Structure 1
Amino acid sequence: MEPARKSDTAATSVGSADLFDASTDAAAVISRDGAVVGWTRGAEALLGYSAPEMVGASAGRLLAEPEAPARVGGIADRCRAGNGWSGMIRVRHRDGRPLDVLLRVSAAFRMDGRECFLLSAREERGRWTMAQSVLDGFLARSPVGMAVLDRDLRYVWVNGTLEQLGGVPQEERLGRRLSELLPGLQGEALEKLMRKVLATGVPVTDYEYDGWSWADPHRGHAYSASFFPLVDTDDTVTGICYMVLDVTERWAARRILSMVNEAGTSIGTTLDVLRTAEELADFAVPRFADFVVVDLLEPVLGSETHEALLDDAGSAPAQPALRRAAVRSVREGCPEAVYRVGDRVGFLGPPYDARTLIKGDPLFIPVLDADQDSWATAEPRRPDRIRRFGIHSLISVPMRARNTALGLATFARTTNPAPFGSDDVLLARELVARAAVCLDNARRYTREHTAALALQRSLLPPALTGGTALDVASSYLPADSAGGVGGDWFDVIPLS
């Protein structure tokens, strides 16, 4: 019996690990003459025959192949010699359909004076057919772009997702290289990386890069690529496979976080209103926009509160009083600007009025039309500047802090062909919100500093007199140089 167990183990070791779990297998005991001696519930579940139907009946009725009896005879001779057997065999279900089962037969043993064999079986469900289906879905229908290239880095196979990402049909890719199809997608750098993978055999995963594609040529995208060599059975590298995933949203989120953090160290370095507005414009050009203007409400520049926005009836005026606080451009001299720093500026025109500042919602125009009536209504010179300098996309964000309207920051793109997107609106809001808090701090400081100086001046004597005998001079030096207040008082003391 020991040799039989060893043979069974060797036979079943080539299968999957779950072959050792026999708890759900069909089991039966067959006598030497082929009669069924024992029949379990597992056998009934597998083949459909109940125990009363099978016990005492011939097991030959279960065979589904013409050559099966001769094969069974050979298996029986092996098992009588003290060896077990395992392998595939086709049987027939009670309803007539054939089943391929993995059968295991023990070495012969005696029971009630008869020579018997213990059989256990489980259905084999066509693993390779399922694997083909999974493989087809993984390669052809994967949400990840995939391609196979030969050793010359020419396309051999491309899935549909990669076609959509790059905008180049499969028939145009096959036989050509990446650098030939998408020259603006860092093709040479990617091919250099793939040659390194071919030479070393070491895969590269999650390599991130940015670029454009024919699928969306007017907007930059970010991608994550992984490369690994294809190795033949004799360990020969036959090509390379790469997988690409669009990670633009992930890059945009990182970019927003990075720029907002950087803005924290660049905006609001002083407690000066105009300087804070200039720092916002300086930071945004050219990182984010090609042309930026910051317009502040006149009450803000005069250190007054936002209540000046309201008229005598308590409603917002149609045209708020704004003055240009900062203007920056990638072009020298800011030729796009209609107004210069210090000029009183108009708003964008109907329906954008002071309520836009109070409500705080940004104005987002991804594709700017210079022929729109509101531009000419607000400022007749503005449409000409839009056309001449190619201002094609715009975001205007109201500046508000602590429920106070402060002004309006406008970002535009001219030389950068990519229009603003929804992620850019989020970034613009974050930058303006940070700048607005710094600007409001500067405004409050200016207001408080001005009030302190006015109080101090009101306490100083209007004039000094020494009579005809003395010439009197005075000097005042505040103890707090930042606040401009404090110090000691000195007076002329008459002598006897």
Structure 2
Amino acid sequence: MASADEGSPAEPGPLPSGDGPEPARTTDGAAAVIAGDGTVIGWTRGAEALLGYPAAEVVGRSAALLLTGPPDARRTAAVAARCRAGSGWSGLVPLRARDGRSLDIDVRATASFLIAGREGFLVSGRELTPHWTMRGSVLDDFLTRSPVGMAVLDPELRYLWLNDTLERFGGVPREQRLGRRPSEVLPTALAAPIERLMRQVLSTGEAITDYEYLGWSWADPHRRRAYASSFFPLADAGDRQIGIGYMVLDVTDRWNARRLLALVNEAGASIGSTLDVQRTAQELADFAVPRFADFVFVDLLENPFGGDRPGAPAPAEGERPAMRRAGMSSVREGCPEAVVRVGETVDFVPPPHDAHFLLDGDPVLLPALDPDSHGWTVEQPERAARLREFGLHSLISVPMRARDTVLGLTTFMRSQNPVPFDEDDVAPARELVARAAVCVDNARRYTREHTAALVLQRSLLPHTLRGGTALDVASSYLPADAKDGVGGDWFDVIPLSGARVGLVIGDVV
């Protein structure tokens, strides 16, 4: 027995200790019986198939001849003592096959027993497939380079170990974490729920998986991130809890995708409730504050261009658009940030752009506004003063387009929210404006067609009524829809000969 396990790279441990995860194996039934002095006294056909040695070449000889390296007397004695104590042993042993190949064999040795009056150990082995194991270097790379943040904490929730990914997530150096609790090194809003869940795991012994939460870290204190975490208890061989394991994954992209979908779905129920242009613009502004921005204003062109309006010329280079403020909303009562009120004319586009950028349809993202820059101080001095006064620090302007027609411009700004707009915010801004643009265009079309219908209807009604010498005539027209003035009837009085008149009423079918 002693010789068969000499040179094993694994420390003795309780059966099964193993060197890593359960591997795939080949060649079943490879077993041998080894005496206490290391002599092989039994050899199976499975062992012959595994290593290539027939029984006649092995039985009666020292098992040390099967090793690829020199025997390790100290380790062999420790393994033998464990087996004599009844614990058994398992580990990885490099053995030499008959053809000279070196094979990594997963070896298991039973507790000692007597066979024919001699001390013996039953040793079985199976080759690892593929030929690699979770040795130190592989395991270290797996733990430290994993995209998942990992940590081990003691029962008092003090950090014992963490990998590079978790260190990067939190922005706190490893040496400042070890020996401390999360609440001592992380933002309170982030650490409090984490510690609460860890204590729950320690008290119940049950793992918690995929707990999602929003937070920020010292690595990026001005941006909200989304994380999915799992917590599980760690126990020793006696099933006593010795700590807690913690894994965390950054799922911000997934969270942003869900947020965009939810925002667009919710906007569908809130924007475009009527066929009124100004009401629709105001609904867009009201919906975006404070969900998405702190100050929003919607400016519509006096004469939309493009699409089915070929008569309206596109703006020239450097020209500022003629627009009218249709709606706005702010986290501050009364929208004190605004330079222009609802209903007033406006020609605002974000510097250094002009009206020509409305044709492109691409949003303008200004993550950091500088009110002291030339574009603001020279071109928009009054707005520059408002930027300073109310701390407006970030902007997204999105052209409103529907059916290839440019309708206007919607601008989102942040002030009380310290997180600046970034590329991830452009998509939801574009979706909100696109949905509102269709509603605005529908309202414009309805208004135009409704006005044309009323003009046509009025033209069918007589401006004056004459009853000739026979009658004095007066009229009163009551439309079927008193609110919108819509009706389908017309009337007239026609003088006839012989002191007669014709009273005519018609219906538009």
* Structure 1 and Structure 2 fold alike (TM over 0.5): yes
Structure 2 CA distance for partners of 1:273 and 1:332, relative to 1, 3 Å: same
Residue in 2 aligned with 1:393? 394
Residue in 2 aligned with 1:157? 161
CA distance, structure 1, for counterparts of residue 376 and residue 195 of structure 2? 48
Where 2:341 maps in the other structure, the secondary structure is coil
Residue in 1 aligned with 2:245? 241
User: 2:259 aligned with 1:255, yes or no?
Assistant: yes
CA distance, structure 2, for counterparts of residue 273 and residue 166 of structure 1? 47
Deviations 1:47-87 (A, max 9, x none): 7x9xxxx999999999754999xxxxxxxxxxxxxxxxxx9
Identify which of 164, 169, 172 aligns with 2:173.
Answer: 169
Deviation at 1:99, TM superposition (A): 6.2
Identify which of 276, 280, 285 aligns with 1:281.
Answer: 285
Deviation at 1:223, TM superposition (A): 0.7
For 1:21, the aligned partner's letter is: T
CA distance, structure 2, for counterparts of residue 261 and residue 244 of structure 1? 29
Name which of structure 1's ranges 420-429 and 477-486 shifts more when overlaid on structure 2. Answer: 477-486
Deviation at 1:464, TM superposition (A): 1.7
Deviation at 1:210, TM superposition (A): 0.4
Residue in 1 aligned with 2:361? 360
Where 1:439 maps in the other structure, the secondary structure is helix
Name which of structure 1's ranges 94-103 and 316-325 shifts more when overlaid on structure 2. Answer: 94-103
Query: Could you tell me whether the CA contact under 8 Å between 1:26 and 1:121 is conserved in 2?
Result: yes
Corresponding pairs, count? 435
Residue in 1 aligned with 2:187? 183
Deviation at 1:444, TM superposition (A): 0.2
Residue in 2 aligned with 1:464? 465
Query: Could you tell me whether the CA contact under 8 Å between 1:364 and 1:395 is conserved in 2?
Result: yes
Structure 2 CA distance for partners of 1:316 and 1:128, relative to 1, 3 Å: closer
CA distance, structure 2, for counterparts of residue 194 and residue 370 of structure 1? 47
Structure 2 CA distance for partners of 1:309 and 1:375, relative to 1, 3 Å: farther
CA distance, structure 1, for counterparts of residue 489 and residue 392 of structure 2? 55
Residue in 2 aligned with 1:489? 491
Where 1:491 maps in the other structure, the secondary structure is strand
CA distance, structure 2, for counterparts of residue 121 and residue 463 of structure 1? 113
Question: What is the CA RMSD across the aligned residues, in angstroms?
Answer: 4.2
Alignment of 1:180-259 (within 5 A): 180-259=184-263
Query: Could you tell me whether the CA contact under 8 Å between 1:184 and 1:212 is conserved in 2?
Result: no
Deviations 1:315-354 (A, max 9, x none): 5771221111112111111111111112211233665222
Structure 2 CA distance for partners of 1:136 and 1:103, relative to 1, 3 Å: closer
Deviation at 1:239, TM superposition (A): 1.7
CA distance, structure 2, for counterparts of residue 241 and residue 416 of structure 1? 35
For 2:270, the aligned partner's letter is: S
Deviations 1:75-132 (A, max 9, x none): xxxxxxxxxxxx999865679787676699xxxxxxxxxxxxxxx9865799996354
Query: Could you tell me whether the CA contact under 8 Å between 1:281 and 1:294 is conserved in 2?
Result: yes
For 1:144, the aligned partner's letter is: V
Deviation at 1:409, TM superposition (A): 0.1
Deviation at 1:473, TM superposition (A): 2.1
Query: Could you tell me whether the CA contact under 8 Å between 1:399 and 1:436 is conserved in 2?
Result: yes
For 1:200, the aligned partner's letter is: T
Where 2:303 maps in the other structure, the secondary structure is helix
For 1:475, the aligned partner's letter is: S
Residue in 2 aligned with 1:437? 438
Structure 2 CA distance for partners of 1:469 and 1:131, relative to 1, 3 Å: same
CA distance, structure 2, for counterparts of residue 308 and residue 353 of structure 1? 21
Deviation at 1:196, TM superposition (A): 1.2
Identify which of 137, 140, 143 aligns with 2:141.
Answer: 137
Structure 2 CA distance for partners of 1:60 and 1:441, relative to 1, 3 Å: same
Deviation at 1:375, TM superposition (A): 2.2
Unaligned runs of 5+ in 1: 1-12, 28-33, 35-39, 69-86, 105-119
Alignment of 1:58-137 (within 5 A): 64-65=64-65, 130-137=134-141
For 2:493, the aligned partner's letter is: D
Structure 2 CA distance for partners of 1:176 and 1:486, relative to 1, 3 Å: same
TM-score of the superposed pair, with normalisation by structure 2:
0.74
Deviation at 1:471, TM superposition (A): 3.6
Residue in 2 aligned with 1:77? none
CA distance, structure 1, for counterparts of residue 188 and residue 480 of structure 2? 63
Residue in 2 aligned with 1:310? 313
Structure 2 CA distance for partners of 1:475 and 1:194, relative to 1, 3 Å: same
Query: Could you tell me whether the CA contact under 8 Å between 2:25 and 2:128 is conserved in 1?
Result: no
Deviation at 1:145, TM superposition (A): 0.8
CA distance, structure 2, for counterparts of residue 318 and residue 290 of structure 1? 29
Query: Could you tell me whether the CA contact under 8 Å between 1:309 and 1:316 is conserved in 2?
Result: no
Deviations 1:414-443 (A, max 9, x none): 010000111110000000000000000000
CA distance, structure 1, for counterparts of residue 319 and residue 296 of structure 2? 24
Query: Could you tell me whether the CA contact under 8 Å between 1:347 and 1:378 is conserved in 2?
Result: no
Residue in 1 aligned with 2:342? 341
CA distance, structure 2, for counterparts of residue 322 and residue 420 of structure 1? 25
Deviation at 1:184, TM superposition (A): 4.1
For 1:242, the aligned partner's letter is: Y
Residue in 2 aligned with 1:21? 27
Query: Could you tell me whether the CA contact under 8 Å between 2:392 and 2:413 is conserved in 1?
Result: yes
Structure 2 CA distance for partners of 1:438 and 1:471, relative to 1, 3 Å: same
For 1:399, the aligned partner's letter is: M
For 1:196, the aligned partner's letter is: Q
Name which of structure 1's ranges 120-129 and 459-468 shifts more when overlaid on structure 2. Answer: 120-129
Query: Could you tell me whether the CA contact under 8 Å between 1:62 and 1:91 is conserved in 2?
Result: no
For 2:27, the aligned partner's letter is: D
Where 1:186 maps in the other structure, the secondary structure is helix
Residue in 2 aligned with 1:272? 276
Where 1:187 maps in the other structure, the secondary structure is helix
Alignment of 1:370-409 (within 5 A): 370-409=371-410
CA distance, structure 2, for counterparts of residue 149 and residue 62 of structure 1? 47
Deviation at 1:276, TM superposition (A): 0.5
Structure 2 CA distance for partners of 1:272 and 1:103, relative to 1, 3 Å: closer
CA distance, structure 1, for counterparts of residue 373 and residue 465 of structure 2? 65
TM-score of the superposed pair, with normalisation by structure 1:
0.76
Where 2:396 maps in the other structure, the secondary structure is strand
Name which of structure 1's ranges 471-480 and 163-172 shifts more when overlaid on structure 2. Answer: 471-480
